[in-house]
Chain A
Amino acid sequence: MTAATSPRSVLWLARQEGLISWRDLAYLMTAGGRWRMRSVVIWIVIVIVIMHAIAWGMVGRYAGMTLDAPPRQLVALTGSIGLGYFLMLSQSLEQVTRLFYGRGDLDLLKSSPVSLHKVLGLRVLSVAATTTAMTLFIAAPFIDVLVYRGGLHWLSGYGVAAASGLATTGVALALTAALFDLMGAKRTRLAAQVVAALIGSAFIIAIQVVAITSIGSMSQATFFQSDFAIAHAPPASSWAWIPARAILGDAVALVLVLAIGAALLIAPMLIFAARLGEYALAAATADGAPGAKDNAGPTAIFLGRFRKAGAGSLLRRKEWVLLLRDPWLASQSLMQLLYLIPPAIFLWRSYGNAQGALVVLAPVLTMAAGQLGGGLAWLAVSGEDAPDLIATAPVSERRVILAKIAAVLMAILAVFTPFLIALAGRSLTIAAVVLIGITLAAASSTLIQVWFRSQAKRRYFRRRQTSSRIATFAEAFSSVAWAGATAVAASPSWYAIGPAVIAVLVLFGTWMIRPK
């Protein structure tokens, strides 16, 4: 053993961190199952091929772009970079927050004679490496297609992606530190998670809202190509185009982007390095703080005190109370509803127009209901906190499941009722079709979660997709199929039967392969 790799040295710690990160990655890929590495590799190859095919269709036509590209194309490219950057920042913020609050081995490290800020500093670097690797993995198919069809100058896209990975980790660290200082350790975790979710969706929503209010379309692609966007874009000499110019092969711009990315990571690390250990200790203290008082809170009316109620009613109300009292879970679930803001604005703007405009909303609302239903169903069914209590209660399993399904569907209907009322004011037929669509989409996602239920902690809500990829894909496919059926039915056309049959077949196929 050399001095550099002797216990407690930076390299030794880095090796340990690398091993843990690799195991985490392997777990994410195999969902904890005993997969052979060969199977994992085959899956990765399949995913890469599919991603290249998707990239070919999406960006192939932009391959001819050069540094002399017209403003219209620069706007589109910069918009895509911005979208990717905000999504990465959202991911980085979650990962950096997890560094301080994850218990795992952090207690062991805190109690060891190893310098805590050294360990946490290494972990921040590990987040930067993971984020960068993930960004490169996702960006690679698009860059490869552009290089193949447009020329080697597109290779600089890898540099921009790497710089973005470094920059987002640095900004995430600065944001987390600011939250610790401003809000204290107890509120930082929730605040960071909410901010992360907001950042992840804010860019898309903001663009859609601007698109609706300016050009009357919900499509981002149409907006970036619009005269409105070009007219309001910065001048050609603006710094705003530097990332786009770097991707297009401008060496100076690329060096600048890489330097800014590195600086944005290194500066917060230097500034906050000495305080990383303090944040971790504060986070651990916040975890043991006493719970909130709930003798008269607004949610108390849902569960109430001792009163006569059937088991079904009790179980439904319990689910709602647990969700409403957990701001993180509520925010994670309801965050999907942020995507309903653009349709809501669209609905408001199109209220006096022809019914054709309203038809656009039908698939959006149905898709959102399917996704929200899947999340809520996972929480109610797989995320049951006291499974032993429910299993040993004198209530049949069928009754328990029915109560949980009802809890999910009633919550979905409560969320979508304002939209349905607004739609009904304009067209009763479209409102009825959307009501049927969101009910079927939410019920399908709920059933899939019931068939593929597997006990898990509620805090793993964000990782629920890893426990069953079949359930995740089935949920997505059924939601898409129901959304299609609702859109066609709202037009109106009997051809809606086609996607509806596909949705039913997806459900039937999923039921056939459910774990028994």
Chain B
Amino acid sequence: MARAFCRTRVKRKTMLARDMTANGAGALTQNDALAVRGLRKVYQRPAVDGLDLTVRAGEFYALLGPNGAGKTTTLRMVSGLLRPDAGSIAIFGIDALKQPTAAKQITAWVSDEPMIYDKLTPLEYLAFVAGLWSIAPDAGERTARELLRWLELTPNADERCEGFSKGMRQKVALAGALVHDPRLIILDEPLTGLDAHAARLVKDVLLERVRQGCTVIMTTHILEVAERMAERIGVISQGKLIAEGTLDELRGKAGSKVGDTSLEDVFLTLVGSTQRRHDDRVE
């Protein structure tokens, strides 16, 4: 069933790509799903400090960093939830600051704290989301039911979300993010608080989406997840991107031998050295 669902979606994706190329839109021919330049956001201190970040179309990108490094602020700015103080954001070539509605049409956002409507059922929630993204009713309903089946929520499809566990709520939120077939999915700590089974389901859904050509950007503190799932990893500290690349490239930057060191060691080395440099400057 899941395979049939995937085949349908790959076919739709291919058709969409062909249509857009034929129309001369050219968005899918660009390699960058996300291009962030000089992004800056200051609260009492700079949360994001002149960040440059590029994520290629169709890749699974993990954004790592210690608490307060600026990961969530960055992704919230990319999703249109926060206005940056400076810098530019382009999503598949669309200027997200000048054309926010067009950028949002192809983007989905999932946060660590699933915000859904307690008094709606999952199916009603998905109908609402599909409507907001102007998805054709037939296609929306078909996709919604497939997603609910895939995420094992069919038995709860007509129950109000108010009694749902954290994992079930997160799955509903994820279904909401996928029901409008986004080209870029941004997830902030989506696995926090999920049990092993729910976490596996969410990971499978995301990997499947990437296989279909979707781009996924995810922050996580579970380094093993980043290590297993991400094609490229960015490490952010004090609002700046301090390292980026595949796991082997990061190992090289951290001065470790290829295949020798875990991502956890690499991460701690990279973040630790940046912190030390920062402390030295402060002193």
Contacts and interface: CB of A to CB of B under 8 A. Distances in A.
B120 A303 contact: yes
A318 B141 CA distance: 18
A304 B128 CA distance: 9
Interface in A276-320: 288-295, 300, 303-309, 311, 314, 318
B115 A388 contact: yes
A104 B213 CA distance: 44
B128 A305 contact: no
A391 B80 contact: yes
A291 B162 contact: yes
Given A321-B119, A386-B115, A391-B81, A294 B159 contact: yes
Interface stretch (A27-35, A393-401, A461-469): A393-401
B14 to A, nearest CB: 23
Interface stretch (B30-38, B97-105, B244-252): B97-105
A308 B137 contact: yes
A290 B134 CA distance: 31
A322 B136 CA distance: 24
B105 A385 contact: no
Interface of A is mostly: loop
A401 to B, nearest CB: 15
B105 A304 contact: no
Contacts of A395: 101, 132
Interface in B156-176: 158-164, 176
Contact of B131 (A289, A292, A314): A314
Given A305-B127, A308-B137, A394 B117 contact: no
B239 interface: no
A314 B132 contact: yes
Contacts of B144: 306
Contacts of B118: 291, 385
B104 A392 contact: yes
A394 B121 CA distance: 22
B130 interface: yes
B218 interface: no
Contacts of B159: 290-294
Nearest to A299: B119
A388 B72 CA distance: 13
For the side of the interface on A, what is the size category? 35 or more
B163 A389 contact: no
A309 B139 CA distance: 14
Best-buried of A291, A295, A309, A325 by chain B (most CB within 10 Å): A291
B132 A393 contact: yes
A394 B81 CA distance: 12
B103 to A, nearest CB: 8
Contacts of B132: 311, 314, 389-390, 393-395
B128 A303 contact: yes
Contact of B119 (A293, A322, A390): A322
A326 interface: yes
A387 interface: yes
B74 interface: no
Contacts of A314: 128, 131-132
Contacts of A386: 115-117
B105 A325 contact: no
Contact of A392 (B107, B116, B117, B140): B107
A288 B163 CA distance: 6
Best-buried of A307, A385, A392, A394 by chain B (most CB within 10 Å): A392
B129 interface: yes
Contacts of A393: 104, 129, 132-133
A290 B163 contact: yes
Nearest to B118: A385
B104 A394 contact: yes
Nearest to B102: A394
B121 A294 contact: yes
A303 B80 contact: no
B107 A311 contact: no
A287 to B, nearest CB: 9
Interface in B139-189: 140-141, 144, 158-164, 176
Contacts of A391: 79-81
A392 B119 contact: no
Contacts of A291: 118, 121, 159-164
Contact of B124 (A289, A294, A396): A294
A305 B144 CA distance: 11
Given A295-B121, A325-B119, A394 B160 contact: no
A321 B125 CA distance: 12
A292 B130 CA distance: 23
Nearest to B133: A394
Given A294-B160, A386-B115, A305 B120 contact: no
Shortest 8 CB-CB contacts between residues of A and residues of B: A291-B160, A295-B158, A306-B141, A290-B163, A291-B163, A306-B137, A394-B105, A325-B119
Interface of A: 288-295, 300, 303-309, 311, 314, 318, 321-322, 325-326, 385-396
24 contacts: A290-B163, A291-B163, A291-B164, A292-B160, A293-B158, A294-B120, A294-B121, A294-B158, A294-B160, A295-B121, A306-B137, A306-B138, A307-B127, A311-B131, A314-B132, A325-B160, A385-B116, A386-B115, A389-B115, A389-B132, A390-B132, A391-B80, A392-B81, A393-B133
